[in-house]
């Protein structure tokens, strides 16, 4: 019986060592929460910057459409006032044009959806290539 008793004791001791304790699990959860609280804002800012880059590219693409229209018609009047861009930019920016007269226009990209709280706000571009806002990182 001594052999059987020692075998049961070793199996019971072995079972007691399997798994994690509640404290160990809580430490792991706390570490994951800390890492997530640091990484998530950085990720969100990176996504905003990449969407902003797509928005500025859309404005440049709209400006090219306006210049093609001017080349054909020798005026900006009657040019389209709404533009569609490549990719999923339309989900994050609404690009519109405002023709002021035959020789000038202003295009604007208004953030919407997930991009709505962007620090740069509304991006604009005119026929002279003037961009606003001109703060670093917006263009």
Q: Are 122 and 110 spatial neighbours (Cβ–Cβ below 8 Å)?
A: yes
> What tens digit of pLDDT does each residue of 69-98 get?
999 999 999 998 888 887 788 899 999 999
Residue 125 within a domain? yes
Q: What are phi and psi of 103, to 5 degrees?
A: -120, 10
Residue 139 within a domain? no
Q: Is the pLDDT of residue 3 over 80?
A: no
> What tens digit of pLDDT does each residue of 59-72 get?
999 999 999 999 99
Q: Are 95 and 107 spatial neighbours (Cβ–Cβ below 8 Å)?
A: yes
Q: What are phi and psi of 90, to 5 degrees?
A: -60, -25
Which structural domain, as residue segments, surrounds residue 81? 21-132
65, exposed or middle or buried, with CB in 10 Å at 0-12, 13-18, 19+? middle
Count of the separate structural domains present in the chain = 1
Residue 12 within a domain? no
Q: For 106-125, what is the mean pLDDT? A: 93
């Amino acid at each position: 019986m001594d052999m059987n008793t020692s075998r049961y004791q070793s199996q019971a001791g072995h079972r007691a060592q399997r798994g994690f304790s509640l404290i160990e699990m809580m430490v792991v959860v706390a570490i994951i929460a800390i890492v997530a609280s640091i990484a998530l804002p950085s990720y969100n800012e990176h996504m905003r910057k990449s969407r902003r880059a797509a928005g500025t590219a859309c404005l440049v693409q709209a400006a090219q459409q306006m210049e093609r229209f001017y080349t054909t018609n020798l005026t900006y009047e009657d040019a389209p006032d709404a533009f569609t861009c490549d990719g999923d930019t339309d989900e994050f920016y609404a690009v519109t044009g405002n023709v002021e007269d035959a020789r000038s226009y202003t295009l604007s990209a208004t953030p919407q959806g997930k991009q709505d709280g962007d620090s740069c706000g509304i991006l604009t571009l005119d026929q002279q290539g003037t961009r606003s806002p001109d703060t670093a990182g917006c263009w």
